[in-house]
Amino acid sequence: MKFIAGISSATALFCLLAWTDPEAARAFVPSTTTKTSSSSSSVASSSSFGLARRRGHQRRSTSLDAEAIKITMPALSSTMKEGRVVTWLKSEGDAIEAGEAIMVVESDKADMDVEAFEDGYLAKILTREGETAEVGSVVALVAALEGDIASIAEGGGDDAAPPAAAIVAEAGPAAGVGAPDVEFSQLDMPALSSTMKEGKVVSWLKSEGDAVGAGEAIMVVESDKADMDVEAFEDGFIAAIITGEGEAAAVGSPVALIASNEADIPALKAYAATLAGGGGGGGGGAAPAPVSALASPVVAAKAPPKATAAPAASAGGRVVASPLAKTMAADMGIDISTVVGTGPDGRITAADVQNAALSPAAPAAAKKGAAAAPKVPSWTPAAGVIAATPTARALAKKAKLDLSTIVGTGEFGRVTADDVKMATGEIKPKKKSVALGAPAPVELPEGLVPFTGMQRAVSNNMEKTLDCPVFRASREIEMDAFNELYQQVKPKGVTVSALLAKAVAKALEKHPIVNSSYRKEGTFFNKDINIAMAVAIDGGLITPVLKNANERGVLDLGEDWKGLVDKAKAGTLKPDEYNSGTFTISNMGMFGISQFDAILPSGQGGILAVAGTQEYIVPCKQAVLGMKKISKMTVTLTCDHRQIYGADAALFLKTFSEIMMSPKSLV
């Protein structure tokens, strides 16, 4: 029994029994625990080991000592003490990836997405939607393995980290020289992941003395996960850089000071030297500042009480509003500084902007906003730095996209997750919001709409024409005489369609080859001239047929055509009334079309496309000024080239033109 190094014989025997027979192990405990205190200690630990091994054997998917990854309420601004969970973007049990947004938090500045810094599974949500948690307190637990979800959820976060307020109570007063009696904020090294202990400043995007705006990226920090931009949460001026480029600083330690007033920069530079241990630009060796100093900017004088009915604005004139409220105000043309906020501490919400838009003072506010809109701050990233959110970087890496090729739509041109998704085609580009007073957007149809029976029939007929070799010929025809005739017979109920059908039928009498159809054995000549005319109806297209049009008068054709159109619209045409045509006319002149080609129907030899009438000025010797105005129409004949040739089409169009220019024979 001495073969196990460092373990007594009794302990080894107990381990073996605990693994193979727990009952025998429990019987063995009394005889081994009476020796010495050291033996008792060994047996107890061995018993725990044996039971742990047995449990691990029963649940292979669970690690022996599952450790939860804690998600804490982040400090989204330098003045934030607590945050409210607006919504969870993931549910318990869902898989999450590093860089993926998992919840939306409302701070005293804005609503922001909070991203995961570890891959895993959301085991338990401790702070529900609508609930508030202090900065630093645990809001959720993440399991590294799916099998650990149940065990971590049962633990319930009893070992949750104390909130920031508790840390403040334990922290002593700041050492060294006291802060100057000026208004400033302290920029600390942020925790960019749950495992980050320190961060290295890759690049400062601003220099000492430069003005910065809230939300503007001011430095790039390298953590143990990725390089990320760090933004300013206050307007002001970079007074002193404590941690220079290439230097590291512990999480929570000051890296820069931001002055509210430009005149306070010298005093803050002297104070920064004491924080950095001498030298305003160096260091990362300074001890981290107390959390109480990190939580809010140092203010020399007490702020006056806020007026409840006045528009909300922070120091320096910056308006405190939610991102949605700012977007809506910009789209509606409303000066947001004139809106009264009803949110926490006078924060402007989207509902406040909507109420302001409906108020009588809205047009004046919009006019003021348009006239005195503040200049949008601009920022250009340092060389080699691509402005993008962490989620956008993760998505681009997964999709193998070059971020530099994606146009950013975020603040300061930053590439957002939606920009990457639009680049991959995962989502469609967002439509811009409608400004106040603009016409409402038109709801366009989207998605697949199945064909009706008629539409399917038209589609099948069009596909059949693909096997037919065709050619086209066009001709311009003077229409003055035809228009004059039409005005004479129009009161009698004769339509343009009836006159066109009669003219085409008379031309086909002289050129029967154009009225023929193709057969494998040869050319099939039709003894009847039946003119089919395309009619657009609701949900499709149909071609009622005027039979024996060459033998009938225009009055008879006009009356017959009126009845056929009524039947077509009512859907009561008989098959013989729409599938017996030998030649087809497609007239789009009433739509103002100047010229078009028609598709040859299956089983026919020709189709004539009739365009609209156009007015032209042409020379005329008989006219007073040597010019006159005439009307012309372009017609295009499509023919089956297997039995009809180009000369046949040209001769038919010549005859048709002569009939149209001398139309008295039609009546």
Q: Report, as residue numbers or ranges, the catalytic residues.
A: 641
Cα separation of 496 and 106, whole Å?
70
Place of tokens 């032209």: 616
Residue type at 240 in one-letter notation:
A
**Pairing of β 606-619 and β 583-587:** parallel
For the chain, give the number of residues.
667
HEC string for 471-515: EEEEEEEECHHHHHHHHHHHHHCCCHHHHHHHHHHHHHHHCHHHH
- Quick one: which of 288, 256, 259 has its CA closest to 175? 288
Cα separation of 384 and 488, whole Å?
80
Q: Which two tokens stand for residue 348?
A: 């402007």
Residue 655 carries which DSSP code? H
- Quick one: which of 174, 252, 245, 247 has its CA closest to 208? 245
3-state secondary structure of 657: helix
Cα separation of 228 and 233, whole Å?
16
The string of DSSP codes covering 59-80 is -TTS-TT--PEEEE----STT-
- Answer yes or no: are the C-beta atoms of 531 and 581 closer than 8 Å: yes
Residue 533 carries which DSSP code? E
Cα separation of 662 and 502, whole Å?
13
HEC string for 259-321: ECCHHHHHHHHHHHHHHCCCCCCCCCCCCCCCHHHHHCCECCCCCCCCCCCCCCCCHHHCCCE
Half-sphere exposure of residue 592, counting CA atoms within 13 Å on the CB side? 0
3-state secondary structure of 584: strand
Contacts by 304-311, CB closer than 8 A, 24 or more apart: 306/345, 306/346, 308/346, 309/340, 310/340, 310/346, 311/337, 311/338, 311/339, 311/340, 311/341, 311/348
Residue type at 68 in one-letter notation:
A
